[in-house]
Amino acid sequence: MTSEKERLGYALGLNIAKNLQETGFEDFDYSAFSAALEDHYSRNELKLSVPEVNETLKNAMEKIQAEKHGPVMEEGLKFLEENAKRQEVTVTPSGLQYRVMTSGSGKSPAPTDRVTTHYHGKLIDGTVFDSSVNRNSPATFPVNGVIQGWQEALPMMKEGDKWELFIPYTLAYGENGAGGSIPPFATLIFEVELITVN
Q: What is the pLDDT of residue 124?
A: 96
Whether 27 is catalytic is no
List all residues 6 or more positions away from 46 whose beta carbon is below 8 Å from its beta carbon.
Answer: 36, 39, 40
Q: Which of 110, 176, 177 is nearest to 143 (CA)?
A: 110
Q: Among this protein's residues, is 147 annotated catalytic?
A: yes
Neighbouring C-beta atoms of residue 172, cutoff 10 Å: 23
3-state secondary structure of 37: helix
pLDDT at 7 over 80: yes
- pLDDT classification of 177: cutoffs 50, 70, 90: confident
Q: What is the mean pLDDT of the chain?
A: 93
**Secondary structure of residue 141 in the 3-state scheme:** strand
Quote the pLDDT of residue 175.
Answer: 82
Q: 123 forms bridges with which residues in the sheet?
A: 188
- The pLDDT value recorded for residue 134 is 94
Check if the beta carbon of residue 157 is closer than 8 Å to that of residue 100. no
pLDDT digits (tens, 9 = 90+) for 116-141: 999 999 999 999 999 999 999 999 99
Confidence label for 47 from pLDDT (cuts 50, 70 and 90): very high
**Among the listed residues 103, 106, 92, the one whose alpha carbon sits nearest the alpha carbon of residue 151:** 92
Instruction: Provide the pLDDT for residue 55.
Output: 95
173 is catalytic: yes
- Is 185 an active-site residue? no
Q: Which of 25, 33, 129, 141 is catalytic?
A: 129
Question: How much is the pLDDT for 73?
Answer: 86
pLDDT at 23: 83
From 39, 64, 141, 147, the catalytic residue: 147
Higher per-residue confidence, 158 vs 62: 158
Torsion of CA 51, 69, 170, 77, to 10 degrees: 140
In the set 98, 119, 166, 169, the catalytic residue is 119
What does the pLDDT look like over 11-42, one tens digit per residue? Answer: 999 999 999 998 889 889 999 999 999 999 99
Please identify which of the residues 79, 130, 166, 169 carries the catalytic annotation: 130
Q: Is 130 noted as a catalytic residue in this protein?
A: yes
Catalytic residue among 167, 173, 182, 189: 173
Taken in order of first residue, the domains within the chain and their CATH numbers are: 4-69 (1.10.287.460), 79-197 (3.10.50.40)
What average pLDDT does this structure show over 151-157? 97
Q: Is the pLDDT of residue 69 over 80?
A: no
In the chain, the amino acid numbered 10 is Y
On the question of pLDDT at 160 being above 80, the answer is yes
Which one of 79, 98, 166, 190 is the catalytic residue? Answer: 190
Residue 182 and residue 174: Cα distance in Å, rounded? 10
Q: Amino acid identity of 39?
A: D
pLDDT class for 6, splitting at 50, 70, 90?
very high
